[in-house]
Amino acid sequence: PLVREPLMGRLEKLASVSWHAEPTFPSEMEAEIAPITKPQDLTSEVGTRRDSLQEEVEEAIGRAEAIQPGWNAMGGEKRALLLEAAADAFEAHTDEFLSLCQREAGKTLVDAVLELREAVDFLRYYAAEARHLCAEPFLLPGPTGEENRLSLAGRGVFATISPWNFPLAIFIGPAAAALAAGNAVVAKPAEQTPLIAALAVKLCHEAGIPEKVLQLLPGAGDVGEFITSDPRLAGVAFTGSTDTARAINRSLAAREGPIATFIAETGGQNAMIVDSSALPEQVTRDVVASAFQSAGQRCSALRMLYLQDDIYDETLAMIQGAFEALEIGDPVQLKVDVGPVIDPDAKAALERHIARRKKAGRRVWRRKLPKGTGAGCFVAPTIIELDSILDLKRENFGPVLHVARFGGDQLGQIIDDINATGFGLTLGLHSRIEETRRFVEARARVGNFYVNRNQIGAVVESQPFGGEGLSGTGPKAGGPHYVARFATERVVCIDTTAAGGNASLLAS
Ligand code: UN1
């Protein structure tokens, strides 16, 4: 209630000015934020995207290649200052970003605020990493009379290919890391969310990052292919589906030119295990947040909940109570917890999945969609009962939670089943038994393990994020090894004895 009025006022003010994205490349892409006169008008156009042409991709990579040595030579300290200036500019444009996150990506206000926070955190953290890793060489121990120095340098031109579910944070995060390490970047945002990316790039340029060092290449999969088939690329940082990661990997492998670095953050089949020692209220809150916040459109989101059989009925009833209380609808309205999914294809895929389970005779609980949401891409939050995580063949990216029961002696089997999916992103455990925690921690092959809390919203620097196996290559975003992966290492050895090593050899 405190923020409601001023915020709506700001949104309307924003809506009345037409905003021109002015990306330097390609120049025609623009957006007009249409007036929010009818909050229930869920299908209005937010803007238009013009896809990059193949020759534009080639020119952009050429420009990036030409400028990269200068950007690298500038050094880590100066690059850090520019990334920090970009972070300041992002914060100064909070209103525009929040509005775009809501209108272009369908985010709730809470999610939009978290998104901007994470983007700014990435910029500042990777700036700090540029200072730490790339400003001065590391002096290594060595034999007397020798100086050995290790320094990190940009690999060359990096491409970043980013997802629509974090259209700002995961658009700018990998790009910022690549820039911090001394690379030039060509950035392809998700085809669904190019306007947020265009504003981000524009602000980076205004903050002083040269236009040729960070170039925007909007488009769909074909533009991605133009980029990843270019032999001049030194690497690709990709976040998205496992299938697309495989396609990019094939495309990189088929090229001539340098062996590319490939960093992929992909999908998950994330479980949570709740045993009978858990606190039911806390479990309820954390399950609902993990499965339904962001309409379940996080790769970290909970898909498969295992409840121990002696608490199954009671805990499921509590979760269903909280599930019934979720507000669904236009994310511009502050009371709304669950907004739409990203597009009609996403909605159709989720509906097919739910229909198949119903047909197979599974118990399914669904919320009713409120009136007026028919025209938008809404999927009614759903809970489906299954026997095992192995009943799920693919990631279901939306507000759909699966639930199964397990007996006290089946814990090891459940972890083996979770590992057998091949994904390894997040895992939740609610248990007050220390031994159980240690057992699960030792046996589960996942990147991020959350105990007695929800399993989304990893915080930059405190909770580096990323998975293994089908979930990605690592290193973890927002962690201490991330920026280094975008860099190449160079070692310089200098003989520092007065006469030089060879001369003294001859003299002896
Ligand atoms: C994703 O959904 O692609 O932990 C990543 C989280 C976020 C990252 C999710 N920081 O939920």
| CA 116–ligand 1 middle distance (angstroms) | 13
Q: Is 256 among the catalytic positions?
A: no
C-beta 295 within 6 A of ligand 1: no
Q: Which of 56, 84, 265, 395 is catalytic?
A: 265
SS3 473: coil
SS3 helix, strand, coil % of the chain, rounded to 5?
45, 20, 40
Nearest atom (ligand 1) to Cα of 478: 10
Question: φ, ψ for residue 45 (rounded to 5)?
Answer: -75, 135
- Give the DSSP letter string of 151-168: EEEE-SEEEEE--SSSTT
Nearest atom (ligand 1) to Cα of 239: 3
Angle ∠(95,456,324) on CA atoms, nearest 5? 85
Task: Please report the ipTM that was assigned to this predicted complex.
Answer: 0.94
C-beta 456 within 6 A of ligand 1: yes
C-beta 33 within 6 A of ligand 1: no
- DSSP 8-class letter at 411: H
Query: Contact 113/107 with Cβ under 8 angstroms?
Result: no
| CA 86–ligand 1 middle distance (angstroms) | 22
Encode the chain (508 residues) as per-residue pLDDT tens digits: 222 233 333 333 333 333 333 333 333 444 443 434 344 456 678 888 899 999 999 999 999 999 999 999 999 999 999 999 999 999 999 999 999 999 899 999 999 999 999 999 999 999 999 999 999 999 999 888 999 999 999 999 999 999 999 999 999 999 999 999 999 999 999 999 999 999 999 999 999 999 999 999 999 999 999 999 999 999 999 999 999 999 999 999 999 988 999 999 999 999 999 999 999 999 999 999 999 999 999 999 999 999 999 999 999 999 999 999 999 999 989 999 999 999 999 999 999 999 999 999 999 999 999 998 988 899 999 999 999 999 999 999 999 999 999 999 999 999 999 999 999 999 999 999 999 999 999 999 999 999 999 999 999 999 999 999 999 999 999 999 999 999 999 999 999 986 555 555 555 4
Query: Contact 160/185 with Cβ under 8 angstroms?
Result: yes
Distances (CA, A) of 342 to 24, 47, 337, 350: 27, 15, 15, 12
Assessment of whether the complete model's pTM goes beyond 0.95: no
C-beta 458 within 6 A of ligand 1: yes
C-beta 476 within 6 A of ligand 1: no
| CA-based nearest residue to 38, from 347, 295, 377, 372 | 372
> What would the two tokens of residue 261 be?
């670095």
C-beta 97 within 6 A of ligand 1: no
Checking phi first, is residue 423 left (phi over 0); if not, alpha (psi -120 to 50) or beta? beta
Best of 242, 269, 456 for a ligand 1 pocket test (most atoms within 8 Å of beta carbon): 456
| CA 109–ligand 1 middle distance (angstroms) | 17
